[in-house]
């Protein structure tokens, strides 16, 4: 059985200085935001806001200056995203590009791809989405059938992607596709391609969720041409690359702060009241936030050191989603029978009660994460 490495780490004092700067900026910028807009956290979409972050150097923070980055330590980036999420800032437009697509291109992309995309991402002007899931391949990602076949100067892509967050606004998708139809092992023969969402033969449609919002959509590829330079890494190495990418996707503060707005509204409404039911709840949630934050920081530190803490990231995501789903339920159970609650508290709880079921689906379902953890500790 292998040991988990989740040793707590401290952020350096310089990053804490940056925190004050980020808070001032958010106080100024977010005065007019409603509580429900803030409760959307990283699903809130505002390209003008993303551009402002780009101007401040708060996107692509750790990347080399050569590619439009700012060569800041990972701890600075952690502080920026933590503050953005705690404030409920509308970071959705650039979120995937900054967290995932940019780092992937930086590690595996061609020189052309780096030049074409990284500076635009860092400016907060170029948005990406993730094309992994398909109509018959969600949890079982190795079942994808979207295929790319060789042609003169590149690839022709045919198939569909589903549940693609941000696809209606994004400019590019990094898609996992099958490039070797004859591969005998199902995890082999897959590759990642950067696909222009305005390419000929590509159609995209929004999917409206149960709240009437359309954060995600579906995409169809009908002989879409992708040039050779848009292959990410080596052909056939897609599975390994995607797994490394998922560790980045599963362990950040966005995996435990999605319901933080309820906590803030609860504390604001009951501060100094000595309420005998609210105080234990606030205490319990504070302890859980603290623990998850330490675990998430430990995973971020591992990634920064070049490790691939797949199981640790899965633990953070699973426990984090549980906390995010518990918060609105516990708040409702605690204040449910009381009359005349602040409208902002009620609106936030209502919104997150409806929104939170997706927290244990996006980025990998609970059962899949637990399967990964079980495998890592030798139970299967």
Please tell me the distance from the alpha carbon of residue 361 to that of residue 366, in angstroms, as a whole number. Answer: 7
Between 284 and 367, whose beta carbon lies closer to ligand FAD?
Answer: 367
Does the protein bind ligand FAD through residue 133 (CB under 6 A)? yes
Question: How many residues touch ligand FAD (CB under 6 A)?
Answer: 20
| Ranges within 148-177 binding ligand FAD (CB under 6 A) | 163-165
Question: Which residues make beta-bridge pairs with 216?
Answer: 165, 207
Does the protein bind ligand FAD through residue 284 (CB under 6 A)? no
Does the protein bind ligand FAD through residue 237 (CB under 6 A)? no
Which of the ranges 12-20, 107-115, 134-142, 270-278 carries the binding residues for ligand FAD, by CB under 6 A?
134-142
Buried b / exposed e over 246-278, threshold 16 CB at 10 Å, is bbbbbbbbbbbbbbbbbbbbbeebbeeeebeeb
Among 130, 157, 219, 247, binds ligand FAD (CB under 6 A): 130
Please tell me the distance from the alpha carbon of residue 24 to that of residue 40, in angstroms, as a whole number. Answer: 21
CB-based contact 285:263 (threshold 8 Å): yes
Sign of the Cα torsion 116, 122, 128, 129 reads: positive
CB-based contact 317:360 (threshold 8 Å): no
Which of the ranges 46-54, 124-132, 178-186, 306-314 carries the binding residues for ligand FAD, by CB under 6 A?
124-132
Among 138, 154, 227, 342, binds ligand FAD (CB under 6 A): 138
Among 313, 316, 368, 372, binds ligand FAD (CB under 6 A): 368
Please tell me the distance from the alpha carbon of residue 33 to that of residue 94, in angstroms, as a whole number. Answer: 19
Between 17 and 139, whose beta carbon lies closer to ligand FAD?
Answer: 139
Among 88, 217, 309, 364, binds ligand FAD (CB under 6 A): 364
Does the protein bind ligand FAD through residue 362 (CB under 6 A)? yes
Q: How far is the CB of 14 from ligand FAD (least distance, A)?
A: 33
Among 8, 367, 374, 377, binds ligand FAD (CB under 6 A): 367
Does the protein bind ligand FAD through residue 233 (CB under 6 A)? no
Question: Which residues make beta-bridge pairs with 129?
Answer: 173
What is the chain's alpha carbon radius of gyration, rounded to the nearest angstrom? 21
Please tell me the distance from the alpha carbon of residue 84 to that of residue 72, in angstroms, as a whole number. Answer: 17
């Amino acid at each position: 059985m292998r040991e988990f490495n989740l040793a707590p780490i401290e952020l350096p004092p310089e990053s804490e200085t940056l925190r004050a700067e980020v808070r001032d900026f958010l106080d100024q910028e977010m005065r007019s935001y409603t509580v429900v807009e803030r409760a959307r956290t990283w699903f809130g979409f505002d390209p003008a806001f993303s551009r402002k972050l780009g101007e401040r150097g708060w996107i692509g923070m750790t990347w080399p200056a050569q590619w439009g980055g700012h060569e800041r330590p990972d701890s600075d980036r952690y502080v920026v995203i933590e503050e953005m999420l705690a404030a409920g800032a509308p970071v959705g437009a650039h979120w995937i590009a900054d967290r995932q697509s940019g780092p992937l291109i930086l590690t595996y992309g061609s020189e052309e791809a780096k030049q074409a995309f990284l500076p635009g991402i860092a400016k907060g002007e170029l948005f990406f989405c993730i094309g992994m899931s398909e109509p018959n391949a969600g949890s079982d990602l190795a079942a994808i059938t979207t295929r790319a076949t060789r042609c003169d100067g590149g690839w022709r892509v045919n198939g569909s992607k589903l549940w693609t967050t941000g696809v209606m606004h994004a400019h590019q998708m990094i898609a996992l596709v099958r490039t070797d139809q004859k591969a005998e092992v199902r995890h082999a023969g897959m590759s990642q391609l950067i696909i222009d969402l305005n390419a000929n033969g590509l159609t995209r449609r929004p999917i409206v969720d149960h709240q009437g919002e359309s954060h995600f959509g579906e995409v169809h590829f009908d002989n879409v041409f992708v040039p050779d330079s848009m292959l990410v890494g080596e052909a056939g190495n897609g599975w390994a690359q995607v797994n490394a990418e998922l560790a980045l996707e599963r362990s950040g503060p966005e995996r435990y702060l999605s319901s933080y707005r309820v906590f803030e509204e609860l504390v604001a409404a009951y501060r100094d009241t000595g309420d005998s039911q609210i105080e234990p709840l606030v205490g319990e949630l504070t302890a859980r936030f603290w623990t998850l934050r330490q675990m998430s920081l430990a995973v971020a530190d591992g990634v920064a050191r070049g490790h691939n803490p797949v199981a640790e990231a899965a633990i953070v995501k699973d426990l984090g989603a549980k906390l995010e789903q518990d918060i609105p339920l516990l708040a409702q159970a605690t204040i449910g029978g009381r009359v005349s609650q602040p409208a902002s508290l009620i609106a936030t709880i209502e919104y997150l009660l409806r929104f939170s079921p997706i927290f244990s689906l996006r980025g990998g379902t609970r059962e899949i994460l637990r399967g990964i953890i079980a495998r890592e500790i030798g139970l299967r």
